[in-house]
Structure formats: structure tokens, C-alpha cells
Amino acid sequence: MSRIGKKAVPLPKGVTAKVEGQKVTVKGPKGELSFVATDNITVAMQDGGIKVDPANDTKPARAQWGMSRTQIANLMKGVTTGFEKKLEISGVGYRAAVQGKDLNLTLGYSHEVKYPIPAGITVTTPKPTEIVVTGIDGQRVGQVAAEIRGYRPPEPYLGKGVKYAGERILRKEGKKK
């Protein structure tokens, strides 16, 4: 039994939800998001919230039960507060700047890396060594942050590169004489 799946997803103030078969559409102050549940899951509106249950007692249905409830809860969080990922850049001469709809990254290559910012995602650089990715869709925010980090992941000897804020880099010892 899924402990998370048993709980109904409450509707925050200012949020409206609509359930049409397997599709859940949530509208809030920041925008509108939708999620389509698999056929193993039943979704229903129930006294001020959305209730998720497995359609049958099979292993795939039980496996998708808690995940579907969490996806719907993330829709609620996205349209009310939104999602945010912070990245830190460390290294001599490494920096980032937003110019128009592109993020320009100087990461020690012979050329500057230009990353086009996708629609629905906001990228800001409060400092030249800090990048903040925000948006209402948590999956897309995480994907954009991972793509930016992928241009120069932190290396284990000096720790140079792009890392998530708060990420611990496992450092290795260098050569010895």
C-alpha cells in the first residue's frame, strides 16, 4: 500500500482543478499545467481535493499510484509557488550572463557557450558566478539546470565547473612525489 498515494491532494487557495477521465488540469496564479495518468490509475475530484487510487490490484498499478499522486501535487506547487534551481560556477575566469533569450557561459573553452533559454523558463544571474533557473514545471526546470551543468560538470581535483548550490563535490588527492 502506498502511504503517499492514500492521501488526497488538497487544492490551495486560488487554484482550480479539472479532472476529465485520466487528464488532470490545474490552473493557478502562475499558469496552467496538466498531467495524464496511466490507465492503471483512477483520478477523481473529492471534497476539495483530488483523490488518486489504483484501478486494480496489480503490481504496476501499485507502483504508479504514489508517483501519480506526487505528479499532481507538483502541479499544485508549480502553479502556486513555482520551482527553482540554483547553480554555482567556480573556476578562474568562469562566468555567466543572460543576454536576451540566451545564457552566455564562459567556462574555460576557447569559445563562449550559448544556451538558448526555453519558453516557460526564466534564467537569471544575480552574480556572474551564480545562475538561478525558475519556472512552473518542475521537470523542465530540473532538465534545464542539468543541461547547463552538463557543459562543464565539476571536476574532482580542483572542483572547477558548474555545480548545484549545496552539492558536495568528492575531492581527490593529486599526485605525490
pLDDT in tens, 162-173: 999 999 999 999
Residue 107 has pLDDT above 80, yes or no: yes
Least confident of 4-8, 100-104, 108-112: 4-8
pLDDT for 44 = 92
Q: Which domains does the chain have, with CATH numbers?
A: 3-80 (3.90.930.12), 83-164 (3.90.930.12)
Q: Are 69 and 9 in contact (CB under 8 A)?
A: yes
Mean pLDDT value across the chain: 93
Give the confidence band of 25 by pLDDT, cuts at 50, 70, 90. very high
pLDDT tens by residue, 63-82? 899 999 999 999 999 999 99
Q: Which amino acid appears at position 29 of this protein?
A: P
Question: Residue 122: exposed, middle, or buried by beta-carbon count in 10 A (0-12, 13-18, 19+)?
Answer: middle
Give the confidence band of 6 by pLDDT, cuts at 50, 70, 90. confident
What's the whole-model pTM score?
Answer: 0.88
Pairwise pLDDT comparison (15 vs 5), residue with the higher score: 15
DSSP state of 40: T
Percent of the chain with pLDDT over 70: 99
pLDDT tens by residue, 131-149? 999 999 999 999 999 999 9
By C-alpha distance, which of 158, 150, 10 is closest to 72? 10
Residue 43 has pLDDT above 80, yes or no: yes
> Rounded to the nearest 5 degrees, what angle is found at the Cα of 43, between the Cα atoms of 42 and 46?
130
pLDDT for 176 = 86
pLDDT for 46 = 87
